Amino acid sequence: MEQGQNSKNKKGKKKLGMNGGVSKPKFQGKCFNCDKKGHKSADCRLPKRKKDHEANIINEMARYVADINLSVVVSEVNLIGSNPNEWWLDTNATRHVCSYRDLFTMLEPVTGERIYMGNSAHSVVEGQCKVVLKMASGKKLTLNNVLYVPEIRKNLVSGSLLNKHGFVMVFELDKVILSKSGIGRKPSYNHLRVWGCLAKVVIPTPKKVKIGPKTVDCILIGYAHNNSAYQFLVHES
């Protein structure tokens, strides 16, 4: 009787692990991520593999974006009409865009190019050339390689291209002031001084002492030729 009971108890017992817990049997199936046996996809150490339909969608999007080599950030919503002489400054646009044929000096046909817009739409580029803009100050601004896109109802000036070519944009309440190398701004004479006037010149840091004067009396004798530095003569009283 005792031997029979012991044999039944042994059959009902489970194998104990090293820490005293019940050890689970090793997974014998195949991982759906790496196709190897011995573990599940949730425990796989390799990067998760994209599903076939997700991979196809990503590949299609990549091919679509590769076909579009231009990018313009603009969204046309609830636009009733537009003025051909109005231009919008877009700091995110990568190209100048115009929708009116008459503004181009000489249009060069373009085939196979499109622009991608911020509202997930794209438009066909039919040509490109330069456009001359008349500014409010009476000056003219020439934009080169402007894209002709009839489907866009707003003419766009690329702010990034202006910055790339050395233009500085100053935004005010109702206007934008463009300047390049100081041209376009009213000069200021507040910091100009007459030759021979007295001036206080700050002592350079290597020559400064803790207890002593911070400036030295000098006489202005001119300006440097290659930079905006001043030329002074130390005045000894």
Domain ranges of the chain: 71-180, 198-234
- Look at residue 190 in the predicted model and tell me its pLDDT: 59
Per-residue pLDDT, 58? 46
Cα–Cα distance, 169 to 179 (Å, whole number): 7
Instruction: Please state whether the predicted TM-score (pTM) of the whole model is above 0.75.
Output: no
Q: Report whether CATH 2.40.70 matches the domain 71-180.
A: yes
Q: What is the torsional sign of CA 6, 9, 14, 17?
A: negative
Q: How far apart are the first and last CA of the chain?
A: 126
Q: What is the pLDDT of residue 237?
A: 60
pLDDT at residue number 67: 43
- Residue 78: predicted pLDDT: 38
pLDDT recorded at residue 127: 87
Closest CA to 98 of 149, 135, 145: 149
DSSP letter, residue 48: P
Strand 87-90 to strand 155-158: parallel, antiparallel, or no bridges (unpaired)? parallel
Say if strands 215-223 and 87-90 run parallel, antiparallel, or are unpaired. unpaired
Please report the pLDDT score of residue 153 as a whole number: 76
- pLDDT value for 59: 53
Buried/exposed 195-217: b ≥16 CB within 10 Å, e otherwise: eeeeeeeeeeeeeeeeeeeeeee
| Distance, CA of 74 to CA of 153 (rounded, Å) | 11
Is the distance from CB of 104 to CB of 130 less than 8 angstroms?
yes
Tokens 């091919």: give the residue: 63
Distance from C-alpha of 157 to C-alpha of 163, rounded to nearest angstrom: 11
Q: Which residues of the chain have pLDDT under 70?
A: 1-24, 50-84, 118-120, 181-194, 228, 237
**Tokens 């181009």 belong to residue:** 104
